[in-house]
Each structure stands twice: as C-alpha cells, then as structure tokens.
Amino acid sequence: MGKLSPLASASATRAVLEAHGLTAKYSLGQNFLVNDAILQKIVALAEVAPVDTVLEVGPGIGTLTMALLQHAGRVVSVERDPDLPAVLAETLAPWADRFALVQKDALDLTVDDLRDALGRLDPPETAPGKLVANLPYAVAATVVLDYFERFPSLGSATVMVQKEVADRMAAVPGTKNYGAYTVKLRLYAEPAGRFGVGPGNFFPPPRVESAVLRLDRRPLHGEDGAPLAASTLKAAATMADAAFANRRKTLSNSCKTYFASRGVQGARIAAALPQLLEQAAVDPKIRGEALALEDFIRLGTALEALGA
C-alpha cells in the first residue's frame, strides 16, 4: 500500500499549521498523527470500503480524513476549532465532492446536523455507518458511548484513545478496569480489535500512551428473542452506576447508597432492593465487578418492573 497522506509527518504538519498562522492547541487536545503506517493500520482495522459513509470527530488538518477519503465513499467530519475549516478546505480540496464538514462541538452533534451535511453531497447520503477518528482524549469515552446510544446507523467505531480509556472500554468482569462505563458501552458494542500507538507518532507528542480500538455494534435481545427496548438498556445502565457507586461495598450496599441519595423515587427503589435483586437472581453479597452483562440486563429488567 502506498502512502495514504502526505500530511503524515511532523515537518508537513508543522508547515501546514505555520502557513495558516496556527499552532497545536493544548486546550483542545490537538495532537496530530504523523505516521502514515498508523493511518494504514487504522483504515485496515476499520475495514473502510467504498460503500461506507464514515463519521470522523476532530479531523485537525485532515491527515486521517485524507486517508479515509481514499477508501470510503463519503466522509463527514465534526470540528469545533474555528481556525481549521479553512485549512481543511485547502488540504481536502481534491475530495470536496465527497467530504462534508460540521463546524460544531462533537458532544452537541445531532442527527439533523449529519443529515444536513451529507445532504450537500452528490448523491446525498443520510447517515454514517462507521465512526473512525483520532478522538480528543478529554471527551473520547463520552463521545463513543453517546454516539452508539444516539446514532443507530453506526455499526462500528474505530477510535484512537488514551490507553487507559481503551482498557476500560475492553475490560472484562473481575478486572480493575471493569466498571460502570464498561457495562454501559457493552450494552451497545463489543471490542473487535486493538493495537497500541506510542507518543512519538504524534505532533506534538502527548504525555500518554494511546491505543486504537475497534468496537462493533452488537444488538442485545431478551429471552423472547426480541431486541431489548431502549428503556431496558437505560435501566441496565442505571443499575451499573448503582453497582459501582462504591466498588468496595457489596452490590446491595452500593445500590442502597446510590438510590438513597436520589430523592423520593430513589428512596422507594432503595427500600425495594431485596425484592429487585431476588427477581434478578443476583447475589446481593457480591460486588459489581463480578457481574456479567447478562446480570445487569436482568437487574435493569427488574428495575423497570418497579416502574422506576
């Protein structure tokens, strides 16, 4: 495979920034990828193909975007830095007919934003099927879970994140990285591949190790074979928060602490915890980290049955 992006070097990245009077902004977590071999591994892990419409968060100067556009049918990127659209218009000019930009904070992105941006392309597209991004580390975990929840068209996410965040995303029960976030993410997707990326692959180099992780959407079904309702997933997520409210406490005590601090409704749930745990067939004396995803789904179903 030939080089995917002429921007994938420290000298080229520095030259583009200087030409526009810019520098990397620490406040926005800007660490630009400068190794083309890593780009190739990202595209390969994501299995980007001409039929794909790809969503990217934080395109920067277009280094990864350029690589994606050489494999995908269309790319829509979300960028909050007001200085970068002018840079992207220049670096991605050869692909202007297949590239759309949303100038917005990624956490505020809506379905309508995507529809409007992709509708400007010819032929128009309505929704992306894959998220592929070198994510700003401060919001990476939030973005991934939020997008799986809100954008049902996304079948996978292949994302560059801080190594510790990747560890949480891919953790299994009984390990120190397994927590409420892991459970909530697993309600939507499961890990499907990973590789590490050192600080020297970025300009400027971050002070942390990074990893690229692929997550594939995995719809969950109930005992009747029907897809779990959004309300059940929400209830299971609430039980995950409750179970890990205090990792040192038993499931029963951690949940009691969590719900007792949440007003009248929470107090009602706290009082009914023995019945809830019995209905879910979960031992109240174990800790949250010992519970599998199926346990949290049963807990969520039991919580729903309380009318919570």
Instruction: Count Cβ atoms within 10 A of the Cβ of residue 192 and give its class: 0-12 exposed, 13-18 middle, 19 or more buried.
Output: middle
Q: Which amino acid is at 269?
A: I
- The reply to whether 31 sits in an annotated binding site is yes
Please state, in angstroms and as integers, the Cα–Cα distance from residue 79 to each residue in 86, 132, 275, following that order: 11, 14, 48
Instruction: Count Cβ atoms within 10 A of the Cβ of residue 74 and give its class: 0-12 exposed, 13-18 middle, 19 or more buried.
Output: buried
**Residue holding tokens 């919570």?**
308
User: Residue 240: phi, psi to the nearest 5?
Assistant: -65, -45
- The reply to whether 253 sits in an annotated binding site is no
In which element (H, E) is residue 268 found? helix 263-271
User: Residue 192: phi, psi to the nearest 5?
Assistant: -140, 20
- The reply to whether 79 sits in an annotated binding site is yes
- The reply to whether 58 sits in an annotated binding site is yes
> Binding site residues for S-adenosyl-L-methionine, as ranges?
31, 33, 58, 79, 105, 134
> Binding site residues, as ranges?
31, 33, 58, 79, 105, 134
